[in-house]
Amino acid sequence: MTNYFDNNNLLSIILKWKKPLIILSLLAMVVSAIITSPFIIKPKYKSFAILYPANIIPFGTETPTEQMLQVLQSDDIRNGIINRFHLYAHYKIDTISNLQFRTDMDHEFSDNVNVGKTEYESVKLDVLDIDPVVANDIVNSMILQFNKKERTLQKEKSIELVKIIKTQLDKKKAEMDSMEDAIKNIRVNYGILDYGLQTRYATKEILHKGGDNGKKEETHDLIKSLKEKGGEFVSLNEHIYKVRATYDELKVQYENSLRDVEKDLTYSNVVTSPYPADKKTYPVRWLIMLISTCATLLFSVIAVAAIESYKEFRKGIEN
């Protein structure tokens, strides 16, 4: 049996069937041209933007870029875009008789809105739509909604931090007030104002051994007070110094956290701004026509080779 898939035989088959093959190829080109025409497949225009995260405090171990991706793909932003641009009507999805309208919207949204990370740790946001202005507006709206959503997340985190620091600040203030009261009590009731200075003074008076009896009695009382409360006085002074330092640090953190709650920042740097496209992106008619024509020609050649092989097989049986 002749191998019709041999190069020489295949060439002879093509030459023999060249007219039908040419006709089929032309038909494939015409059909694909009709199918990809604007009357059947509406052309879509792409608008895109490239963003870098800014002023983002990541949650856990994720990077700012990963957090930006998560927020841009969140249900809040997705539903906000759907509602603002009336995408159910825009995509002609029936929400009354179609029980799977949400699934259909998921498919349409996924096909037309794409968010991905680039190799340079930026985020690319591109949108396809039959209206280039709508595509551009959706990109801009998603950037605005991202900033609002990120602002809300960062504010919630800052408010939580403010509460934590305020609790620690109040505890340190109460501890500091308690120690100041204890130090004041020692000063008023025991007359200890400066432990080091008064200790040197009392030591000098004892060594002098002179003076009147009143002064000796005063020195004796001071020494007694220093013995009883001197150590506590020194310990309280050292401790309150450390507590004041911690309190001051917490106060700075508290004020910074309050500023974080009140400030209004932008959380994305747009390095490539979107604009309404002046040329369609989809469908690529020449590519579709080329693929369909080549596919038709290939299957046609296979079909005629099979026909020729079958004819030879029948001829061999009859002979």
- Number of domains within the chain: 2
- Are 163 and 258 part of one and the same domain? yes
Residue 21 pLDDT grade (very low, low, confident, very high; cuts 50, 70, 90):
confident
* Sole residue written with tokens 């934590």: 164
Q: H or E segment at 294?
A: helix 285-318
Answer yes or no: is 224 within a domain. Answer: yes
- Are 248 and 287 part of one and the same domain? no
What pLDDT does 218 receive? 64
Question: Does the pLDDT at position 286 exceed 90?
Answer: no
Given a contact cutoff of 8 angstroms between Cβ atoms, the answer to whether 268 and 51 are in contact is yes
Using alpha carbons, select from 278, 239, 49, 222 the residue that is nearest to residue 142: 49
* Average of per-residue pLDDT across 236-259: 87
- Are 207 and 301 part of one and the same domain? no
Residue 5 vs residue 239, higher pLDDT: 239
- Are 232 and 310 part of one and the same domain? no
Q: Which residue(s) pair with 282 in the sheet?
A: 44
Using alpha carbons, select from 29, 10, 8, 11 the residue that is nearest to residue 306: 10
Answer yes or no: is 251 within a domain. Answer: yes
* Average of per-residue pLDDT across 130-157: 92
Residue 279 vs residue 83, higher pLDDT: 83
- Are 220 and 299 part of one and the same domain? no
- How many angstroms separate the CA atoms of 40 and 44, rounded? 12
Answer yes or no: is 298 within a domain. Answer: yes
- Are 171 and 257 part of one and the same domain? yes
- Are 247 and 194 part of one and the same domain? yes
* Average of per-residue pLDDT across 169-182: 88
- Are 257 and 289 part of one and the same domain? no
Rg (CA), the chain: 42
- Are 252 and 301 part of one and the same domain? no
* Average of per-residue pLDDT across 221-228: 68
Q: Which of 29-33, 79-83, 177-181 has the highest average model confidence (pLDDT)? A: 79-83
Full residue range of the structural domain in which residue 231 is found: 158-262
Given a contact cutoff of 8 angstroms between Cβ atoms, the answer to whether 297 and 25 are in contact is yes
What pLDDT does 4 receive? 47
Answer yes or no: is 82 within a domain. Answer: no
Answer yes or no: is 37 within a domain. Answer: yes
Answer yes or no: is 88 within a domain. Answer: no
Task: Return contacts of 67-75, CB within 8 angstroms, 24+ apart.
Answer: 68/123, 68/146, 68/150, 68/267, 68/268, 69/115, 69/116, 69/117, 69/123, 71/146, 71/149, 71/150, 71/153, 72/115, 72/123, 72/125, 72/142, 72/146, 73/115, 74/149
The rounded mean pLDDT for the chain is: 81
What pLDDT does 216 receive? 61
Q: Quick one: 46 exposed, middle or buried, by C-beta within 10 A (0-12, 13-18, 19+)?
A: buried
What pLDDT does 154 receive? 84
- How many angstroms separate the CA atoms of 65 and 150, rounded? 12
Segment 184-222, tens digit of pLDDT: 877 777 776 776 676 766 666 665 655 555 566 666 666
Using alpha carbons, select from 66, 83, 219 the residue that is nearest to residue 138: 83
- How many angstroms separate the CA atoms of 24 and 300, rounded? 8
Answer yes or no: is 193 within a domain. Answer: yes
What pLDDT does 313 receive? 67
- Are 170 and 239 part of one and the same domain? yes
Q: Which of 2-11, 69-78, 170-179, 281-290 has the highest average model confidence (pLDDT)? A: 69-78
The pTM for the full model equals: 0.65
- How many angstroms separate the CA atoms of 205 and 143, rounded? 79
What pLDDT does 212 receive? 53
Residue 1 pLDDT grade (very low, low, confident, very high; cuts 50, 70, 90):
very low
- How many angstroms separate the CA atoms of 173 and 178, rounded? 9
Q: Which residue(s) pair with 51 in the sheet?
A: 123, 270
Answer yes or no: is 220 within a domain. Answer: yes
Count other C-beta atoms under 10 Å from residue 251's C-beta. Answer: 14
CA 202 to chain CA mean position, Å: 69
- Are 227 and 309 part of one and the same domain? no
* Average of per-residue pLDDT across 158-181: 89
Residue 254 vs residue 187, higher pLDDT: 254
* Average of per-residue pLDDT across 36-51: 82
